[in-house]
Structure 1
Amino acid sequence: MTQAPPTTTYFKHLAEGRFLIQRSPSTGEWVFYPRMIAPRTGATDLEWVEPSGLGTVYATTVKRMKPPAENVSIVIVELDEGPRLMTHVQSMPAEDVRIGMRVRAKVVDGPDGKIVAFEADGAQ
């Protein structure tokens, strides 16, 4: 039996409303973007696990939209587990998103299916 490509598995989980990333039990390395082999250690025992969903805005910019559309934040979030991912922060004006801001992941509808977005973490 052939194993599905990691990206297929990742998007399947998202379609089910679940945000899962890979982790190697033997090394403890967390991996994102989905892959067959961990980039730092070469581990091949990657499993799908649910991260805490918490992270910190590592970098941010604003995509300016033509009114009446709202501007969109484009951010790189560093998950508490270590990996970074490009996404956006919802539920607040894009101009208010700041580097160092604590955020929480949520699975939302995107233009082509479910995606991971973030919102400000109220437990700051």
Structure 2
Amino acid sequence: MKDIVRGWRHIPQRYNLIGSKCLQCGEVFFPMRVICPKCRRKGKLEDIKFNGNGKIHSYSVIHTPTDEFKNISPYPVAIIELDEGAKITSQIVDCDTEDIEIGQEVELVFRKIRAESDEGVISYGYKFKHKK
């Protein structure tokens, strides 16, 4: 039950890709922060909603996943540099692993992550796909 309450509390961040921007140094971060890692306590942060577009900065293909993700392996996971400058780690979907290249433009999509068998709760989250 605790996870369900935590999930509902974080819905805006989960479905809108919200991070933080430091008004002192201009750095942007994902996930949201309460202290700027660059300025430390000197920085003042505000929420920023990312547009969901970016480029593949680096990637790897997972061939030996945990039991929870064996049914989708192999699958690519990438570091995405968002248009606003923050970097985020995410799965790349809707493509063959051979078609992924560093520098490719990608866009945010929301997909099913897993279904909790005991409670029947379906978890959704962000992933990225090639931009058309």
Identify the TM-score tier after normalising by the shorter chain: 0.7 to 0.9
Mark the structure with the bigger radius of gyration. 2
1:121 and 2:131 aligned: yes
> Residues 1-124 of structure 1 correspond to what in structure 2 (within 5 A)?
11-15=10-14, 17-42=15-40, 43-64=42-63, 69-111=72-114, 113-122=123-132
Q: Secondary structure at the match of 2:16?
A: coil
What is the CA–CA distance in structure 2 between the aligned matches of 1:8 and 1:28, rounded to whole Å?
Answer: 29
Please give the TM-score of this superposition, normalised by the length of structure 2: 0.70
Aligned sequence identity (%): 20
1:44 Cα offset (Å):
4.4
Counterpart of 1:95 in structure 2: which amino acid? Answer: E
What is the CA–CA distance in structure 2 between the aligned matches of 1:8 and 1:25, rounded to whole Å?
Answer: 28
What is the CA–CA distance in structure 1 between the aligned matches of 2:8 and 2:27, rounded to whole Å?
Answer: 19
Q: CA RMSD in A?
A: 2.9
Counterpart of 1:19 in structure 2: which amino acid? Answer: L
Instruction: Report if the CA contact (8 A) 2:25-2:43 is conserved.
Output: no
Instruction: Report if the CA contact (8 A) 2:62-2:73 is conserved.
Output: no
- Using a 3 Å threshold, how does the CA distance of structure 1 residues 64 and 100 change in structure 2: closer, same or farther? same
Counterpart of 1:13 in structure 2: which amino acid? Answer: P
Q: Which runs of 5+ in 1 are unaligned?
A: 1-6
Counterpart of 1:41 in structure 2: which amino acid? Answer: C
Counterpart of 2:127 in structure 1: which amino acid? Answer: A
Counterpart of 1:89 in structure 2: which amino acid? Answer: I
Counterpart of 1:81 in structure 2: which amino acid? Answer: E
What is the CA–CA distance in structure 2 between the aligned matches of 1:11 and 1:18, rounded to whole Å?
Answer: 10
1:26 Cα offset (Å):
4.1
Aligned residues: 115
Counterpart of 2:130 in structure 1: which amino acid? Answer: A
Aligned to 1:4: none
What is the CA–CA distance in structure 2 between the aligned matches of 1:92 and 1:35, rounded to whole Å?
Answer: 32
Please give the TM-score of this superposition, normalised by the length of structure 1: 0.74
What is the CA–CA distance in structure 1 between the aligned matches of 2:9 and 2:45, rounded to whole Å?
Answer: 13
- Using a 3 Å threshold, how does the CA distance of structure 1 residues 109 and 69 change in structure 2: closer, same or farther? closer
Instruction: Report if the CA contact (8 A) 1:51-1:81 is conserved.
Output: yes
